[in-house]
């Protein structure tokens, strides 16, 4: 009886581990997005005016566009929403033809955010 219970529990554990590890993985699936940029809206909302460049790039990754003008450095991240996971976004490598979701930040010379514009 003990052997059957041990075998059954081991088999159940193995089946549980296999089922957990083989679920729907979220893949970027395109060379147009930066790898490892699966961001949730909550993480994007963490960026506030007054934050530094280091925190911004740690959360968002590389910007899609970066321009320098007299008001400071302007960085823009364009996002594509994941089809399978709601409110999960990938950072695009290039500006899309139709801009639907973006985050535009202006940094002063001390690399602090002075302005934030976004549409998610």
Domain at 45, CATH number: 3.30.1450
Residue 43 CB neighbours (<10 A): 13
Asked whether residue 26 is domain-assigned, the answer is no
- Give pTM, 2 decimals: 0.68
CA-based R_g, the chain, Å: 21
Residue 15 belongs to a domain: no
For 95, the domain range is 33-119
Confidence (pLDDT) at 74: 92
Tally the domains of the chain.
Answer: 1
- What are 7-51's pLDDT values in tens digits? 877 877 776 666 655 443 434 455 577 766 777 777 788 888 888
Q: Is 101 within the bounds of a domain?
A: yes
Is residue 92 assigned to a domain?
yes
Tell whether 19 is covered by a domain: no
Cα separation, 30 vs 24, whole angstroms: 17
Is 7 a member of any domain?
Answer: no
pLDDT at 28: 46
Instruction: Tell me, yes or no, whether 5 lies in a domain.
Output: no
């Amino acid at each position: 009886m003990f052997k059957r219970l041990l075998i059954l529990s081991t088999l159940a554990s193995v089946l549980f581990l296999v089922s957990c590890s083989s679920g729907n993985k979220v893949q970027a699936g395109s060379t147009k997005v930066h790898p490892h940029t699966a961001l949730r809206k909550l993480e994007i909302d963490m960026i506030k005016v007054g934050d530094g460049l280091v925190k911004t790039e740690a959360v968002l990754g590389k910007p899609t566009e970066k321009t320098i003008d007299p008001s400071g450095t302007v960085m823009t991240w364009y996002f594509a929403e994941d089809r399978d996971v709601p409110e999960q976004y990938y950072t695009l490598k290039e500006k899309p033809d139709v801009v639907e979701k973006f985050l535009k930040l202006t940094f002063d010379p001390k690399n602090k955010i002075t302005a934030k514009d976004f549409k998610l």
